[in-house]
Each structure stands twice: as structure tokens, then as C-alpha cells.
Chain A
């Protein structure tokens, strides 16, 4: 059924069988394909080092600065091949990434941080000011702290700054890398709630990479599971969340009958078949 839904609607962003090599030798992605529907929240799941961040950076073209290269496959945004575009051009077209570890401009104030998000915009100061107000509506805490240096704000606030800064670019899709990293569970939930509201009220599409599988599947409507640089499973978030293999391997939940190691083989076989 998911396949029907996927093909019926037009894909905003699609990644077709890309391969990424770091430093000319280290093969990190071995053929990753995924699609992000307009208005969707898509989760990219998997363990540390599975290739989630690399996939996002391949899309936003931030790989170059880390000596990574997309050597095969293609990436299209709104039907246009965007692989050769610079991050600057991608942001102008509406693709922006919120990097893992937040990466605020530490010595700039919270408000200046947000304003840098509008760097590529050409639609005038008053529009930017309107959007600044909008961001403050979603993150009232940032308004209180608008004049403090971002480096001195809490981890949760920095994540909000990072998301708010991306919003200031008026993006069509935000690539959100590991929003839960290093945050208290309550804050993680707060961030995801805001993601949900932004998605529903502002129509922002999200592709988020997350290790916190449980949380991500609660808020996403579609999910891809990466392992060793390959997509090993994909499906609607609700289906994935109920899948026994996913539960066992990523949620750490196991049924009574799955304690034995022998029974795990079903997953192994399936994985080989999928890749």
C-alpha cells in the first residue's frame, strides 16, 4: 500500500542509487535511493556510521568540505538535477540542512544567528522581519534570549536556533540531522513537536536523520533504514514501528519468542535479500 502512496504523489526530492566516497578511497554509501514527498516528514534511521549524515550532506552538497564525493547516481529536487549545485544555490532553491551538532555561530547573538539564515534572500528586509517574528512565535524561548551570544545558550536552545535559522531561508525542505543529539528526552519531544507543527502549519517538508528510532517514527510518516551505507528496509512509519525486526534491532524491544539467537536469522536473510 505504501508503494501506491509513494508513486501517486510527486516526489519533491529524490535520491537515486548514489554512491559516496570519502578521500577517494572510503566507500561510505553503496547505492542509496530514497524519495521525499512534498509535505512529508521522512525519517532516515540507522545506527552510528550507517551513512545517514552522509546521505543528507550529499543532498545539500556539503560533502565537498569534508572531501567526500558523490561518484554514482543522481539527486533531483523538483525534477531538476541538483548534484552539481553549490550549497548556496541549493539554499536559494529551498533545500537547507541543519547540521548534526547544531553548529550555531557561537559569537553571534541568537538574533544574528537567525538573520544569517536569511542571507540568500532577496525579497527585502520587511519580509525577513516578518519571518523573524514567525520564528519567535514557534520558539518563544529564543525571543527571550535574542541578545545573548549563541555559544552561551543551552543545547536545546542551540538546536532551536539551528532550526529557526534554517527556517529563515524560507525552505521547501529541511534536512534535519540528528536533532535529538545530546538533548534531554523532554527537549527532544519539544523539538519534534515543533517539527510537526512546522510541517503541518507552514508546509515545510522534512527529511530527518535520527538515531532515536522510536521518537522519529512517531513523528514521521515514512521511514528508511540504513545499514552499512545501504537502505535495508523502508516503509510507512507506522508499519516500520510495528515491524518485529525493527523493534528488535532499533527499538531494543523483543518478544518472548525472539530471545534465541537462532530466530534472528529471519532478519539476516531478509536483509541480504533487500540489499
Chain B
């Protein structure tokens, strides 16, 4: 019995990590869907959002230095969201607009450049030390689960999972039911045709980068609360890659399920297979899994099938 409970704990902890991966992967999916571009800067966007949020909240930030007060959390989060929207607008104006006619690989290269620029900018503005981000998410284990089921689950992880659920539901509704969401999917399918029916790409791109900027903010908050705002945050982007390969680059549910599979997979593998091979499976398990998927199901679990008519 104790053994089963332990497995359950490992699985739950994996699920929660998976949710965190999924949050990062989501941002990738949004931009990839709309523009066919793998946005290398997504991880840095999350970092940048977390840094900006920290700046609004802390007394050693720019905001405090300029205005002499800090924002309460409920105001700081919308303010950061606004900054992410502004950032999206600037990115469209300064980078994407000039590359519309170019190959997708060139846009990809541009996002790599963007990642470094943003990272440098973050460093320059906010400094490179690790900052604790506290927006009032309860820390520690959930007492209720511990008392009633004898399970150890972090409260933060429960909050992250709930937030992710809300976020995904909102995105799904936005994509499936609204006019702009439909236009976003249309652009993802065929740029030229989207242009021809009067959808303006610059506007769509600002929207999609804004949305993924806000998703990055949520990811940044969760990761920042978990392990502090630090520059290694931009590296979780790498963990999102196998998640995307698993779930499919174009699928929102895919990003979620992919994240969960990888989260659970690496935890379970670490605990049960790890000791046999000397541990540290967690670091490479995801990539091996992704490799397998690339071989046998390159579009991922939920990726859009490439429609080919004969």
C-alpha cells in the first residue's frame, strides 16, 4: 500500500511538473500555429515577463525608483500583461514586419536574435541576480491532502495546474469561437489566402505575440514562484521542445498532454529505472522520448495531419 502511495506521489509530482512544461510549450504552439515560426525567444519572453513583474513588486526595482511606490499584485499582473502586449507590438514593428516575405527559416533565425536581445535587455534593466518572486501563492505542501490521503503535493503546483486549466479553456474558446480566433487559424493554414480575404497579417501577428506573451507571463509567474526569477528560466524553453514534438507543434491540447506525459515519464523513469543506470535519467528522458516520436509519428500525438489529396 505504501508503495502504491509512493508511486501516486511520483505521478502527481510528474503531472505538476508537466503542467509547468505545458505552460511554456503553449506559447510556442500559439506562434507556430499562426506563423509557422518556431519562436526561439519564447523562454526568454517568460523570463522577461517574470523580471518585469518582479520589478513592479519589489522595492529595489526601477518602478519603485521612479515612482516611489510598488504596485500591489492585482495591479502588477495586468501591468506586466500590458508590457507584454507592448513588447509584441514592438517586435512586430521592428522585426517581423520586414521579414513577412521571407522564408520561415529566416523568421526562426530572427527569433534567435530576438532571444539574445531580450535576454541582454533583461540583464541590463533588471540585473542578473536570482530574484524571489512572491505573488502570494501559498507555499509548502497541501495540508488537506496530507491529512486525508497522506499525499505530499505542493500547493504551488496545484495552483499552477488550476491556472493552466483556466488558461487552456480560455484559449480554446478564443480559437474556436471568436472571429479573431478563426482568423488566427486561417492565417496558420494559408497566409496568402488569409491576405486575400482581407485579414491583415500585421494585426494578427501582434495579437498572437501578445497572447503568447501573456501565456509566457503565466509561465514566468509559476516558474518564478517555484525557483526564483533567474536567467536559467529561458532554458526551460529547451524542455518545451520534446513536449512539442510529442504533442504536435500545432495543437494546444497536444502541448498540455505532451507536457504531462513528459513530466510524469521523467519522474517515474527517474525513480524506478534511474537506480539501475546510475540516475540522472530526468535530464535526457524527454529527448529520447521525443526522438522515438520523430521516428514513428513525426506530427506528434495531436498535430495537424498533413492533408494530402490524391
- Chain A residues close to B by CB (< 8 Å): 60, 62, 64-67, 86-88, 90-92, 96-99, 103-108, 112-113, 115-117, 119-120, 149, 151-152, 165-166, 169
Contact = CB atoms under 8 A, between A and B. Distances in A.
Interface string B282-310: 00000000000000000000001001010
B307 A117 contact: no
A208 to B, nearest CB: 15
A120 B190 contact: no
Interface of B: 100-101, 179, 182-183, 185-186, 188-200, 304, 307, 309
A97 B182 contact: no
B198 A120 contact: yes
A174 to B, nearest CB: 11
Given A65-B101, A152-B307, A87 B195 contact: yes
Contacts of A62: 192, 195-196
A62 B295 CA distance: 39
A169 B190 contact: no
Contact of A116 (B197, B200, B307): B197
A88 B198 contact: yes
Contact of B100 (A65, A87, A91): A65
A92 B196 CA distance: 11
Given A96-B198, A169-B197, A116 B192 contact: no
B198 A87 contact: yes
A113 B186 CA distance: 8
A87 B100 CA distance: 15
A105 B196 contact: no
B60 to A, nearest CB: 46
Contacts of A106: 189-190, 307
B192 A65 contact: yes
A149 B189 CA distance: 12
Given A65-B191, A112-B182, A99 B196 contact: yes
Most chain A CB neighbours (cut-off 10 Å) among B183, B189, B193, B304: B193
A71 to B, nearest CB: 17
Contacts of A107: 185, 188-189, 304, 307
B197 A119 contact: yes
Contacts of A87: 195-196, 198, 200
19 contacts: A62-B192, A65-B195, A86-B200, A87-B195, A87-B196, A88-B198, A90-B198, A92-B198, A103-B190, A103-B196, A105-B194, A106-B189, A107-B189, A108-B182, A112-B185, A113-B186, A152-B307, A165-B197, A169-B198
Given A65-B101, A67-B101, A91 B197 contact: yes
Given A115-B182, A152-B307, A152-B309, A104 B197 contact: no
A60 B101 CA distance: 17
Contacts of B194: 105, 116
A169 B193 CA distance: 14
Contacts of A91: 197-198
Given A65-B100, A67-B101, A105 B199 contact: no
A103 B200 CA distance: 17
A183 to B, nearest CB: 13
Contacts of A151: 307, 309
A55 to B, nearest CB: 15
Most chain A CB neighbours (cut-off 10 Å) among B182, B195, B197, B309: B197
Contacts of B101: 64-67
Given A91-B197, A96-B198, 6 more contacts: A60-B196, A105-B185, A105-B193, A107-B304, A108-B185, A151-B309
B170 to A, nearest CB: 20
Contacts of B100: 65
Contacts of A120: 197-199
A171 to B, nearest CB: 10
What are the 8 tightest A-B residue pairs by CB atom distance, in nearest-first order? A91-B198, A151-B307, A103-B193, A105-B189, A120-B198, A88-B200, A116-B186, A105-B186
B304 to A, nearest CB: 5
Given A103-B190, A152-B307, A116 B196 contact: no
A65 B183 CA distance: 18
A149 B307 contact: yes
